[in-house]
């Protein structure tokens, strides 16, 4: 039962063991093969700055199991010496046929203080505009900024497809996102013992808006918490969610796979 991992950082997963790893490195392909062996046959490789966004595009060009997402991470945007220039490079990359999303962008009030929030919000608004202009999904990083993320999306007018990556809100926030038609992607932290509100959010998420991810190498699911995460561990989260929502595992996998392709399109798109 094939399921995609709709948000992973293989450059970080492999880079911890092999610094300066290239997208065609054998260790990267081994991670994809390990995932394929357990039914995780497609991934979205996510950029967090210009360099990693280029890396993501390079991997998507090399391996048909990979689509790319490109963006400036909200914590990276305030650090840019030339924010407009960096955004221009992201917009050049988003035109690539194997780039499926602008992400991860958004707002993060946990790591970015008041002094960086204006640049963070400006970057977020720019990514929203790019997603609408180029017809790509918008993949959102939202940490302790739920109300402001929704405010900016409402003010700018959200693109057709919005994904709340590594959903971190409660059931009420899930209902607000669902009311707007936003997809919610759940990672391994939904399995943590100290995450009852996140499980309540998963129960509040309509099945047709639910996605699954690793956010690898982070958010490793129980009982493997503490281990470096990878797409091969998606089945642990998938089984947990299927049981939580009371759905047959095969049906759940089919639905999540269909939802993911509805968001990002087909992985078979060719480079012209």
Nearest alpha carbon to residue 207 among 263, 259, 137, 165: 259
What is the number of helices (H) and of strands (E) in the chain?
Answer: 10, 8
CA distance 138 to 140: 6
Band (pLDDT 50/70/90 cuts) for residue 153 is: very high
Q: What is the mean pLDDT of residues 212-226?
A: 97
Residue 17 has pLDDT above 80, yes or no: no
Q: Binding site for a divalent metal cation: residue ranges?
A: 7, 9, 104, 141, 165, 215
pLDDT for res 269: 83
Residue 116 has pLDDT above 70, yes or no: yes
pLDDT for res 180: 98
The percentage of residues in the chain with a pLDDT greater than 70, rounded to a whole number, is: 99
DSSP 232: G
Going along the chain from its start, the domains and CATH numbers come out as: 4-264 (3.20.20.140)
Q: What is the mean pLDDT of residues 234-251?
A: 97
244: number of Cβ within 10 Å: 16
| Exposure of 93 in the CB half-sphere (CA atoms within 13 A) | 33
Band (pLDDT 50/70/90 cuts) for residue 57 is: very high
Q: Binding site: residue ranges?
A: 7, 9, 104, 141, 165, 215
pLDDT for res 90: 98
How high is the mean pLDDT of the chain?
96
Nearest alpha carbon to residue 182 among 148, 152, 139: 139
pLDDT for res 115: 82
23-43: string of b/e by CB count within 10 Å (b at 16+)?
Answer: bebeebbebbeebbeeebbbb
Model confidence over 102-115: pLDDT tens digits? Answer: 999 999 998 787 78
Residue 272 has pLDDT above 70, yes or no: no
Q: What is the mean pLDDT of residues 154-163?
A: 98
**Angle made by CA atoms 38, 253, 34, in degrees to the nearest 5:** 15
Tell me phi and psi for residue 23, to 5 degrees: -65, -25
Model confidence over 69-96: pLDDT tens digits? Answer: 999 999 999 899 899 999 999 999 999 9
Distance, CA of 199 to chain centre:
19
């Amino acid at each position: 039962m094939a399921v995609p991992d709709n948000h992973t950082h293989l450059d970080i997963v492999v880079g911890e063991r092999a610094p300066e790893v290239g997208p065609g490195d054998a260790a990267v392909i081994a991670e994809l093969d390990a995932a394929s062996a357990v039914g995780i046959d497609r991934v979205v490789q996510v950029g967090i700055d210009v360099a990693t966004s280029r890396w993501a595009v390079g991997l998507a060009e090399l391996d048909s199991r990979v689509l790319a997402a490109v963006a400036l991470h909200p914590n990276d945007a305030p650090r840019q010496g030339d924010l407009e220039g960096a955004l221009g490079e992201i917009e050049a990359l988003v035109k690539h046929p194997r780039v499926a999303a602008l992400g991860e962008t958004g707002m993060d009030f946990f790591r970015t203080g008041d002094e960086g929030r204006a640049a963070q919000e400006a970057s977020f608004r720019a990514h929203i505009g790019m997603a609408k202009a180029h017809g790509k999904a918008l993949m959102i990083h939202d940490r302790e900024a739920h109300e402001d993320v929704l405010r900016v999306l409402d003010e700018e007018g959200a693109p057709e497809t919005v994904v709340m990556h590594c959903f971190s809100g409660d059931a009420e926030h899930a209902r607000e996102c669902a009311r707007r038609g936003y997809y919610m992607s759940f990672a391994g932290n939904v399995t943590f013992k100290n995450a009852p509100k996140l499980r309540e959010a998963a129960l509040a998420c309509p099945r047709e808006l639910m996605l699954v991810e690793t956010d690898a190498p982070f958010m490793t699911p129980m009982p493997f918490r503490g281990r470096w995460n990878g797409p091969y561990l998606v089945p642990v989260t998938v089984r947990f969610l299927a049981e939580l929502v009371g759905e047959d595992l095969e049906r759940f996998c089919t639905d999540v796979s269909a939802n993911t392709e509805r968001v990002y399109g087909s992985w078979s798109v060719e480079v012209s």
